[in-house]
């Protein structure tokens, strides 16, 4: 029984933002559990590399280009995926990121924060990272009365971290939207949950966490000092939460939840 709880054979999963480090790791974990995986993003080179990695391990995957902030682009992508891999039953909404003009340097004035920067980060993380994907892929899930949507929120959405105020606010909104959709769709066969990773080094934040010699920056050291496990996370450590929430057998009564994977960081700050 236990071995079949996490078997995703016959499922088709879409990983929006699957060309990134964390999204790509999630795509690989879903494929390893038996799902056919559509890796969706804008970087074809990284997307195709992830597909080759999945196929080399015996999985089934394909790359699809789409703009998460363009509803038509997402709709065309959805239809292409369904034609190639079958009905989508799992959606990982992992598109997101921050911008320098929406980040407050130490000692800066919040009142001077760029409106363009704020809007750009909010749109990318909330509209492109949760709203539009839920509307486009949720529509087909509701029609087939089956689906698991997993939004990728952040520790920043639970704790207003210094400097990345727009990103933090956007991720808090992702968590709120997750709970709203979970309530709305609970009786219609579609579960909606979120995962809030702690601090996982990736392309976007590596320079904030490490110096060129590999030692911690001041900010990186502060984070480690507040993390009981005294280290950063690795992308494969999100696999268990992702596969569990994706599996209709393993988590059929789980919806509206924000699953925290943070090495204990939040236990020292909340």
216 catalytic residue (yes or no)? no
| Residue that is written with structure tokens 């995957």 in the block | 61
Neighbours of 243 (CB within 10 A): 24
SS3 101: helix
Q: Which residues pair with 150 in a beta bridge?
A: 92, 193
Q: Which of 118, 122, 167, 265 is catalytic?
A: 167
Q: Which residues contact 53 (CB under 8 A, 6 or more apart)?
A: 28
The answer to whether 81 and 36 have CB atoms below 8 angstroms apart is no
Neighbours of 123 (CB within 10 A): 16
Q: Which residues of 219-238 are buried (b: 16+ CB within 10 A; e: fewer)?
A: bbeebbebbeeeebbebeeb
| Residue that is written with structure tokens 């340097």 in the block | 105
DSSP string covering 106-173, please?
TT--GGG--HHHHHHHHIIIIIIIIIHHHHHHHHHHHHHT-EEEEEE--GGGTS--SS-HHHHHHHHH
Q: Which residues contact 236 (CB under 8 A, 6 or more apart)?
A: 25, 29
Please give the positions annotated as active site: 167
């Amino acid at each position: 029984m236990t071995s079949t709880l996490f078997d995703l054979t016959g499922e088709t999963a879409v990983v929006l933002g699957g060309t990134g480090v964390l999204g790509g790791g999630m795509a690989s974990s879903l494929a390893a559990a038996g799902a056919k995986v559509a890796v969706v993003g804008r970087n074809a080179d990284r997307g195709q590399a992830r597909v080759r990695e999945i196929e080399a391990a015996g999985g089934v995957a394909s790359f699809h280009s789409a703009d998460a902030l363009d509803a038509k682009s997402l709709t065309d992508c959805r239809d292409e995926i369904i034609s190639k891999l079958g009905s989508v039953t799992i959606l990982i909404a992992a598109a997101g990121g921050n911008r320098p003009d929406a980040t407050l340097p130490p000692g800066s004035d919040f009142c001077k924060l760029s409106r363009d920067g704020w809007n750009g980060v909010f749109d990318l993380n909330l509209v492109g990272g949760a709203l539009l994907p839920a509307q486009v892929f949720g529509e087909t899930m509701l029609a087939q009365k089956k689906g698991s949507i997993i939004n990728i929120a952040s520790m920043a959405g639970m704790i207003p971290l210094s400097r990345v105020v727009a990103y933090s606010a956007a991720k808090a909104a992702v968590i709120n939207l997750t709970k709203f959709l979970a309530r709305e769709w609970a009786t219609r066969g579609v579960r909606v949950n979120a995962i809030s990773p702690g601090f996982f080094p990736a392309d976007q934040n590596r320079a904030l966490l490490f110096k060129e010699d590999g030692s911690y920056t001041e900010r990186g050291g502060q984070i480690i000092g507040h993390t009981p496990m005294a280290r950063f996370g690795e992308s494969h450590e999100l696999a268990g939460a992702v596969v569990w929430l994706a599996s209709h057998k393993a988590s059929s009564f789980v919806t509206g939840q924000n699953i925290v994977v943070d090495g204990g960081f939040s236990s020292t700050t909340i």
